[in-house]
């Protein structure tokens, strides 16, 4: 009897599957090289998508209402960016063309989780999410009116015991309201005392929420963050190890490996550019006030391409705007990008019509220059750094990440399809808005947002990524 029931069940299942196939899929991606970093799968297959979900990965032909011919192209999980500033319709467009399907602002974050998500609720091109940020919370509590990063008491005023308590309370409130993680940037808040930082790390530790930190520069900066994480059991994510490390990058990656061996939950990320960018008025640049002429000449004003002098530095500091920091070498960036611990994250930055080329070229640059041209990374390793690793960093707290970053039946249909023989970044410091070449199709929740290398207009399939 039991055997009969089982046979019957299987029979029904087979019939059901056949029926579903006969009905076809909403979207079929036909004949692409399907690469899944979780299983190591790397074969030519057809993918059938129904609604927002991958319904089949198959050698058999699949029929769909729409079919993308992916012959000769790589089919990868959509890229997940853990470090994306801007978070506007404009930056979502730039990032979509670079293959990004989920852009998360986890370093600076926001002071008001509910409002941040409500502001984007009408629909976005790609998936989006945010952290509760120590920087903006501190700005709110200390009364700093800087537009994005603190320039007044948020940066320079020591908080009283009551203010520290209020900062910690608001961070905890943000975590309770579904912040993806907690953000911090010690060089942007130089007046935050060790007691204040310990207090906010304690909050993160209690909730098992990762802290995404822009650490102070060099080995001492990493030691400080590792000590805070160790004391409070807060998971730690060190943002852009390339620019935080510069000449000490290799040593700092070894420190992270050692900390992991000791059982600390610590991860890191990098972007593939030797120059950084930030707001010229931020406290992070206070040290250039009294720096040598050579040191100030590391700064470039992107609107004109000029290198700064002590005089022009003062002039532009009064005006405000993004500034390029030429502080690293290609060699050290390479060390950061190829290290197996490092995720790829863009630190995309765009302000009033200009920004950093990493906003538009991070992922295509890694695929074109590091994988194809220099063979510094295998294609699968690069994809893993862009998809599975960031998903895993967040999935303990954010269940939505458990179905992203991999290509499997039942997974989210966030998919990036590119030409591995052609993909390349084209944006430069002078022309940061140039889109890359070779990113052919980008699917977000089953809907194409880039088709044949062009943006699709009028679609907003992007959903909020938020902890429950
Ligand atoms: Zn950043």
The predicted-structure confidence for 364-396, as pLDDT tens digits, reads as follows: 999 999 999 999 999 999 999 999 999 999 999
Number of residues in the chain: 468
Element (H, E) at 53: strand 53-58
How far is the C-alpha of 251 from the C-alpha of 260, rounded, in Å?
14
Q: Residue-wise pLDDT tens for the chain (468 aa)?
A: 455 555 555 555 555 555 555 569 999 999 999 999 999 999 999 999 999 999 999 999 999 999 999 999 999 999 999 999 999 999 999 999 999 999 999 999 999 999 999 999 999 999 999 999 999 999 999 999 988 899 999 999 999 999 999 999 999 999 999 999 999 999 999 999 999 999 999 999 999 999 999 999 999 999 999 999 999 999 999 999 999 999 999 999 999 999 999 999 999 999 999 999 989 999 999 999 999 999 999 999 988 889 999 999 999 999 999 999 999 999 999 999 999 999 999 999 998 888 999 999 999 999 999 999 999 999 999 999 999 999 999 999 999 999 999 999 999 999 999 999 999 999 999 899 999 999 999 999 999 999 999 999 999 999 999 998
pTM over 0.85: yes
| CA 386 to each of CA 5, 15, 140: distance values in angstroms, whole numbers, following the listed order | 45, 38, 33
For ligand 1, the distance from its centroid to the CA atom of residue 24, given in whole angstroms, is 43
Nearest alpha-carbon partner for 74 in 115, 42, 38, 119 = 42
Asked whether the beta carbons of 445 and 414 are under 8 A apart, the reply is yes
CB of 427 closer than 8 Å to CB of 438: no
Q: For residue 48, how far is its CA from the centre of ligand 1 (angstroms)?
A: 36
Which helix (H) or strand (E) segment holds residue 220: the answer is helix 218-232
> pLDDT > 90: what percent of the chain?
91
The rounded Å distance from CA 37 to ligand 1 centre is 26
Q: Mark the residues whose beta carbon lies below 5 A from ion ligand 1.
A: 107, 347
Structure-token pair, residue 448: 């194409």
- Residue 427 and residue 360 in contact, taking contact as beta carbons nearer than 8 Å: yes
The separation between CA 82 and the C-alpha centre of its own chain, rounded to angstroms, equals 2
Name which of 354, 355, 392 is nearest 271 in CA terms.
Answer: 355
CA distance 439 to 437: 6
Ligand 1 centroid, distance to 44 Cα (angstroms): 37
Q: What is the DSSP secondary-structure string of 112-125?
A: -HHHHHHHTTT-BS
Taking the centre of ligand 1 as the mean of its atom positions, its distance from the CA of residue 100, in whole angstroms, is 17
Q: If residue 222 lies in a helix (H) or strand (E), which one and from where to where?
A: helix 218-232
pLDDT of residue 1: 47
Q: What is the pLDDT of residues 149-163, one digit of tens each?
A: 999 999 999 999 999
């Amino acid at each position: 009897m039991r055997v009969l029931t089982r046979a019957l069940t299987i029979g029904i299942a087979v019939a059901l599957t056949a029926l579903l196939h006969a009905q076809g899929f909403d979207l079929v991606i036909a004949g692409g090289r399907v690469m899944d970093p979780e299983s190591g799968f790397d074969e030519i297959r057809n993918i059938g998508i129904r609604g927002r979900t991958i319904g089949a990965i198959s050698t058999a032909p699949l029929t769909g209402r729409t079919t993308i011919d992916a012959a000769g192209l790589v089919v990868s999980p959509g890229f997940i960016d853990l470090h994306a500033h801007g978070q506007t319709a404009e930056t979502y467009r730039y990032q979509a063309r670079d293959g990004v399907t989920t852009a998360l602002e986890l370093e600076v974050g926001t002071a008001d989780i509910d409002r941040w998500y409500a502001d984007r609720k009408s629909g976005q091109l790609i998936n989006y999410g945010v952290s509760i940020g120590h920087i903006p919370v501190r700005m709110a509590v200390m009364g700093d009116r800087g537009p994005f990063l603190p320039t007044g008491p948020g940066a320079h005023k020591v908080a009283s015991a009551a203010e520290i308590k209020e900062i910690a309370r608001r961070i905890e409130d943000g975590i309770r309201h579904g912040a993806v993680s907690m953000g911090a940037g010690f060089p942007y808040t130089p007046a935050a005392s060790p007691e204040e930082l310990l207090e906010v790390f304690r909050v993160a530790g209690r909730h098992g929420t990762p802290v995404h930190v822009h650490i102070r520069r060099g080995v001492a900066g990493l030691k400080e963050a590792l000590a805070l994480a160790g004391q409070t059991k807060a998971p730690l994510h060190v943002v852009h190890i390339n620019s935080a490390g510069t000449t000490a990058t290799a040593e700092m990656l070894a420190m992270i490996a050692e900390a992991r061996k000791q059982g600390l939950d610590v991860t890191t990320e990098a972007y593939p550019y030797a120059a950084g960018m930030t707001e010229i008025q931020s406290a992070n640049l206070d040290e250039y006030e009294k720096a040598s002429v050579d040191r100030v000449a590391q700064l470039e004003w992107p609107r004109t391409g000029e290198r700064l002098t002590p005089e022009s530095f003062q002039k532009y500091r009064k005006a405000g705007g993004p500034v390029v920091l030429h502080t690293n070498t290609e060699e050290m960036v390479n060390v950061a990008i190829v290290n197996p611990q490092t995720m790829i994250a863009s630190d995309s930055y765009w302000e009033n019509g200009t920004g950093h080329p990493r906003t538009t070229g991070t992922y295509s640059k890694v695929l074109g220059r590091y994988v194809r041209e220099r063979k510094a990374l295998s294609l699968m390793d690069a994809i893993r750094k862009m998809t599975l690793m960031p998903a895993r960093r967040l999935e303990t707290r954010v269940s939505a990440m458990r179905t992203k970053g991999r290509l499997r039946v039942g997974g989210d249909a966030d998919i990036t399809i590119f030409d591995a023989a052609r993909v390349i970044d084209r944006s430069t410091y002078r022309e940061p808005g140039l889109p890359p070449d070779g990113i052919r199709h980008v699917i977000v929740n089953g809907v194409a947002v880039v088709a044949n290398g062009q943006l699709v207009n009028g679609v907003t399939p992007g959903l909020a990524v938020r902890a429950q």
